Structure 1
Amino acid sequence: MYFTLFVTVLMTAAFLVVAAYAIAKLIGPRSYNPAKGEPYECGIPTHGTSWLPMHVGYYLFAILFLMFDVETVFLYPWAVVVKTIGPWALATIGFFMLVLVFGLAYAWRKGALEWK
């Protein structure tokens, strides 16, 4: 029973993807312009190559943001069931928050939160 449902869902998903792609190709606007292939830089024509290295600080900051953002999402299910679990829930979330604070302190000490 579940196998049939699984196959049906996969076939439906594949059909919807192919249908959306086909409809976009059929009714989508077509204009071929060489300027479309160029990298966009606020309307200013590019000078030289656009493949410039980014500062690693941007990536570090983004990874830290995602890490703390995702960990914050884990707090919601905990808040929903905290009354049913009792004091054990408080202890586990306390440990979880302690790990978060240590992670933030480590990133702060390493200078990952400073723009240089």
Structure 2
Amino acid sequence: MTAHGYFGTYALVGLVLLVGAGFVAAAFTASRLLRPHAPTAGNLTAYECGVDPVGEGWAQTHVRYYVYAYLYVIFAVDAIYLFPWATVFADPGFGATTLIEMLAFVGFLAVGLLYAWRKGVLTWT
């Protein structure tokens, strides 16, 4: 099938989306029709790693865990940018420019890490 004209490409995208939605609807319908359905009291209870649930479902987590996760994400993104930079750095004509850009990038991250360290965010107490 070829799409001609301005609206032809939109029609093609719409057709692909429609076919995809049809596949999803067919999968859900087949799953609902073919699954066994025999609810019992044991089947309807909450299941958590093989342990019966005890207490409330509300649990508070200290904010420091989120801070460490956020810092990990920042440095993971930093590592993702360092690998392509290392390959481009070896190409002729890109050395000085990419070095300055990467020093600025790592400098911003270092300032953020220094700020977090000075605020006492990185202490585990």
Structure 1 length-normalised TM: 0.71
CA positional deviation for 1:95: 0.7
**Secondary structure at 1:47 match in 2:** coil
Superposed CA RMSD in Å reads: 2.8
Identity over aligned pairs, percent: 34
Task: Find the counterpart in structure 2 of residue 112 from structure 1.
Answer: 121
**1:38 counterpart residue number:** 46
Deviation at 1:28, TM superposition (A): 4.5
Larger radius of gyration: 2
Question: Which letter maps to 2:106?
Answer: M
Kindly indicate whether residue 10 of structure 2 is the aligned counterpart of residue 3 of structure 1: yes
Q: Is contact 1:39–1:50 with CA below 8 Å preserved after alignment? A: no
| CA deviation vs aligned residue, 1:23-82 (integer Å, no higher than 9, x gap) | 443445556354554252x43333321201111111111122122212322233333433
Does the C-alpha gap of structure 1 residues 18 and 63 become closer, same or farther in structure 2, counting only changes over 3 Å? Answer: farther
TM-score by length of 2: 0.67
Q: Which has the higher helix share?
A: 1
Question: Within the alignment, does 1:91 sit opposite 2:100 as a pair?
Answer: yes
Aligned residues: 115
Equivalence for 2:88: 81
Change (3 A) 1:53 1:97: same
Instruction: Please state how far the C-alpha of 1:89 moved relative to its aligned partner.
Output: 0.9
Unaligned runs of 5+ in 2: 1-7
AA aligned to 2:39 is: Y
Query: What does residue range 40-59 of structure 1 map to in structure 2 within 5 Å?
Result: 40=48, 42-59=49-66
Ranked by relative contact order (alpha carbons within 8 Å, sequence separation 6 or more), the top structure is 1
